[in-house]
Amino acid sequence: MAERENTDPQKMEKIVSLCKSKGFIYQSAELYGGLNGCWDYGPLGAELKRNLKDYWWRKNVQERDDILGMDGSILTHHAVLTASGHVGGFSDPMCDCLLSKARLRADQIDPQSGTAYHYTGASHAESGFSVEKPFSVLIDPTANQNENNARKVAKQYYAQFLNGQDVPAKKLELAGESTTEEVDTTKYNPENGSLLTEAREFNLMFQTKMGASSDDNDPNAVAYLRPETAQTIFVQYKNVLDSSRVKLPFGIAQIGKAFRNEINPRNFTFRSREFEQMEIEFFCRPEDGLRLTEEWLETRLSFYEEIGVPREKLHVLDVPDGERAHYSAKTYDIEYEFPFGIQELEGVAYRGAYDLTKHQEHSGKNIEYFDEETKERFIPHVVEPSAGCDRTVLAVLCESYDVEDLTKEGAKKKDERTVMRFKPCIAPIKAAILPLLKNKPELVAKAKEVQHLLQPFMNVFYDETAAIGRRYRRQDEIGTPFCIAIDFETLGEEGPNGEDLTDTVTVRHRDSMEQERIAISDLLPWLLERLR
C-alpha cells in the first residue's frame, strides 16, 4: 500500500505532458501565460469527462427510481449562501511572505525549527536612506546556513523600501540584530526563511454584481458563483418534492460547475479554482441517516471500481470528531493514491437536518416534509455523496496510464508502448476504423461504410494514414479499446486457411493486443455489449 507521502513526480510529469500533447487537458489561457487554477479540456478530455458524467448520471439518476436530477444556476443569491454559512465562514487562513509577497495557506505550512534572526530596520549612510520596521528570518543551521544567509534575506527585504534610490541591497546596514531559537514554528516561509504576516481569514467565494445597480455598494446586487452545487439542491428541494410527489427516502442529483478562489491551486487539475462536482443530496428520515451513510459509502466505492479505479488504490478516511463539520455525525473521505500522494476524491457526509433547517430559518418559509402515513411533519435529514468530476477524471488518467516494455529478446532497440487503459464505458474514442491501405478505393469505401454504421451509436475515429502497426500504437496512447481493420479478406480474398472472410473485419483489443475476426453485421451489438 502506498504511503501518504510516497509520491512519483516523474510519473505525474509524464501524465501532464501526455494530456497536453494528445489533447486531453491544457492550461487555460496558456497563450497569455496561463490563468492559474483553471484548465481547458481538449477534444479527448472533453469526451472523457462527458463519458464520466454520463455514466455517473445513468447509474445515479436514470437507473434508480429514488433519485431525480436537476440543473441549477451557477449565479447564486447572496441570501442562499448567507443562510448556508458560506458568506460568514467559507474561508481559509492565509498569510503573505513579507519578502516575495507569495500567498500561502497558513494551515499548510510545515513546522520548521532553527535560529530566527530579528532586525529593527536598515539604513544607508551615503544616501541618507533609513527604514525602521521589524523583520525576521529563520535559518536552519543543520543545513549549513548561518548569519550571512539571514542578513542577505533581511537586506533584500529592506531594499524594497528604497523607492527607486539606486543603492544595492548588499550595501545596506542592518540594525538591532538579535536571535532566538525556534522549534516547530510556522511563522516563516519555508522557501526563503522570510517572516510571514499574521494569518487572516480569506473567503474563497467569487463575488459578482448582478444588473446595472446605480449604487456600487448595494448589497442586494451582490451574487456569488456557487462554491458547491449542493446549495441549489437544498433551496429547490421543496419544489422538487411538490412537483414530483416523491416520498422519503429520495435524492436529488446534480452535476455542475463550482468555483473557489483557492489560495494555492496545485497538482494539475486536483485543486482548481473552477471545477465540476457530481453531488447527490439524499433526503431521509432521521433514524435512517447513519445506515444510509454506510450504504452510500459502499455504493460509491463500487462506482470507482466500475470506471477502472481499483478498490486497493482507494482509501476510506473516517473523518474524526473535531475535523468534521460541527453538524455532521459521520463523514467519510474516499481517497485515491495519486502520484502526488493519497488525496481526497469524494466526501460522503451525513449532514443531518442542518442545511434545510438553515434555509427554513432564513427564508421564513416552511419547507417541512409531511409524511402522509404517520401524519408527521419534520425536516428530513441528508446524506451527501459529493464527488469531484475533475478529480475523478484525473484519477482515471493516472490509473489508466501505463508504459509496457515490448522489446523482443535480443533486439537492439527498446520497444515501449504507452497505453491508456481506460474502461471502454468512459474511453474517449470507442473504436478506430482503419482501412489497411489508403490508396485502394474499395478498402476506403468499406471502411467508411463501417464508420457510418457505428457513428450514430458511439464516438469512432477514422484513420488511414501510416502503417497499420503505427496506427494501432497511436490509438493505444489515447486509450481506444478497439481497432477495426478493413483488409483484403473483408473484400473477399481467401483467408490464410482458404476460408471465406468476406464482410468480416479484424478487431484488435487494446490491452491484450489480440485480434479476432468479426462479421460486420455482428459488429454493432458486439461493441455495444462491451461499452456499457
Q: Is 121 in the site for ligand GAP (CB under 6 A)?
A: no
Q: Is 61 helix (H, G, I), strand (E, B) or coil?
A: helix
Backbone angles phi, psi at 160, to 5 degrees: -65, -20
Is there binding between residue 347 and ligand GAP (CB under 6 A)? yes
Q: Cell 429547490 belongs to which residue?
A: 236
DSSP 219: G
Strand ranges inside 176-303, DSSP E: 178-185, 200-203, 206-209, 222-225, 250-259, 274-284
DSSP string, 276-312: EEEEEEEEE-GGGHHHHHHHHHHHHHHHHHHTT--GG
Q: Which is nearer to ligand GAP, 187 or 271 (CB)?
A: 271
Upstream peptide bond of 93 is cis (omega within 30 degrees of 0): no
Q: Which of residues 14-73 bind ligand GAP (CB under 6 A)?
A: none
Q: Does 324 bind ligand GAP (CB under 6 A)?
A: no
d(CA 396, CA 398): 5
Q: Least Å distance between CB 194 and ligand GAP?
A: 27
Q: At residue 474, what are phi and psi to the nearest 5 degrees? A: -65, -40
Q: How many CA atoms lie within 13 A of 448 on its CB side?
A: 7
What is the C-alpha separation between 335 and 329, in angstroms, rounded?
20
Between 72 and 185, CB nearer to ligand GAP: 72
- Interface segment toward ligand GAP; rule CB under 6 A; list 144-152, 345-353, 398-406, 479-487: 345-353
**263-282 residues near ligand GAP, rule: CB under 6 A:** 271-272, 275, 277, 279
Q: Which stretch binds ligand GAP (CB under 6 A): 93-101, 309-317, 343-351, 467-475?
A: 343-351
Identify which range of 167-175, 205-213, 352-360, 379-387 contacts ligand GAP by CB under 6 A: 379-387
- Shortest Å, Cβ 59 to ligand GAP: 17
Sheet with 200-203, edge to edge strand ranges: 103-105, 91-96, 200-203
- Nearer residue to ligand GAP within complex by CB, 351 or 508: 351
Q: By C-beta, is 93 or 197 nearer to ligand GAP?
A: 93
Closest distance of CB 299 from ligand GAP, Å: 16
Q: Of these, 386, 400, 504, 506, which contacts ligand GAP (CB under 6 A)?
A: 386
Write down the least CB distance from residue 37 to ligand GAP, Å. 8
Q: What are the φ and ψ backbone dihedral angles of 504, each rounded to 5 degrees?
A: -115, 160
Residue 230 binding ligand GAP, by CB under 6 A: yes
Specify the residue, 51 or 272, whose C-beta has the smaller distance to ligand GAP: 272
Residue 228 in contact with ligand GAP, rule: CB under 6 A: yes
Q: How many CB atoms lie within 10 A of CB 79?
A: 15
Q: Residue 90 CB, nearest distance to ligand GAP (Å)?
A: 9
- Position of cell 435512517? 288
Closest C-alpha among 27, 61, 62, 63 to residue 42: 27
Q: Shortest Cβ contact with ligand GAP: which residue? A: 388
Cβ 78 to ligand GAP shortest distance, Å: 18
Q: Contact, 436 vs 505, CB < 8 A?
A: no
Contact flag: residue 390 with ligand GAP (CB under 6 A) = yes
Q: Give the total of residues touching ligand GAP (CB under 6 A).
A: 19
Burial code (b: 16+ CB inside 10 Å, e: under 16) for 486-498 equals bbebbbeeeeeee
Task: Report the residue from 54, 96, 294, 344 that binds ligand GAP according to the rule CB under 6 A.
Answer: 344
- Residue number with CB closer to ligand GAP (309 or 431): 309
Of residues 42 and 388, the one with the C-beta less far from ligand GAP: 388
Whichever of 271 and 423 has its CB closer to ligand GAP, that residue is 271
346 interacts with ligand GAP by CB under 6 A: yes
C-alpha 425/C-alpha 308 separation (Å) is 10
Residues 6+ apart with CB under 8 A from 44: 22, 23, 24, 428, 429, 478
Among 345, 427, 447, 485, binds ligand GAP (CB under 6 A): 345
Name the site residues for ligand GAP (rule: CB under 6 A). Answer: 228, 230, 260, 262, 271-272, 275, 277, 279, 344-347, 384, 386-388, 390-391
